Amino acid sequence: MPEEPILPIDDPRLKEPSAPVEAFDDDLRALADRMFGIMDRAVGAGLAAIQIGVPLRLIVIDVDDDAGVRRRLALANPEIVYASRETRVGEEGCLSMPDYGIPVERSTRVRVRYSDLFGRERTIDGDGNLAVCLQHEVDHTNGIIFTDRVSTLRRGRAQSRFAKVRRRVA
C-alpha cells in the first residue's frame, strides 16, 4: 500500500467543517482502519479524516489517559459536551505540521459524545493527554487548527517556520 500523504497545515480544506457521518458501514470501518495505519506510520496520537482529505466527522486516537489506560478508539461525529473551566498550557503538535510544537491552552477534562463505528452512541471522559488529544481532533472536524488557538505572534512564527520547511522539502 503506498504511503498516503497527510494534508499540510496550510491546506485550505483543514479550515472547513467536516460533514457528519451518516452511513455506519464497512466503508466507514475501512476508512477508520486506514486512518489508524496512517496515524501509526506517522507516530501520532490522533488523526482526523479531513487530514487525509476526507471531509467526514471521523477521528481516531491512540493515547493514554492520566491513569495510564491506553485509549485506541475511532469516534464518529464527536462532540465536546463538557469542558472543564480548569485549563493547562502544554506543548501541542499536529501531524499536519510535523516536528513542531507550540504551547496551547486546553481544558484539563472533557466529555465527548460520539458514535462508534456501528452507529451506537457513546461518551468518553478524558483528562490529561487524552483530553488534549480529543479537543485537538474534534477541533479538526470543526475546521479549527491548533494554531488558531494561540496568539497572533505564535501563529505567525509557526506559519513562517512551516513555510521554510516546505521550501526545503520542495
pTM of the model: 0.91
Distance CA 35, CA 105 (A): 26
Delineate the domains of the chain, giving CATH numbers in brackets. Answer: 12-169 (3.90.45.10)
CB distance 113 to 104 below 8 Å? no
Of residues 163 and 105, more confidence is placed in 105
The average confidence (pLDDT) of the chain is 92
Strand partners, 106: 88
CB within 8 A of 118, min separation 6: which ones? 24
Kindly give the pairing relationship between strand 70-83 and strand 87-94. unpaired
Q: What is the pLDDT of residues 38-95, one digit of tens each?
A: 999 999 999 999 999 999 999 999 999 888 999 999 999 999 999 999 999 999 999 9
Clarify whether 4 is annotated catalytic: no
Average pLDDT over every residue of 119-124: 98
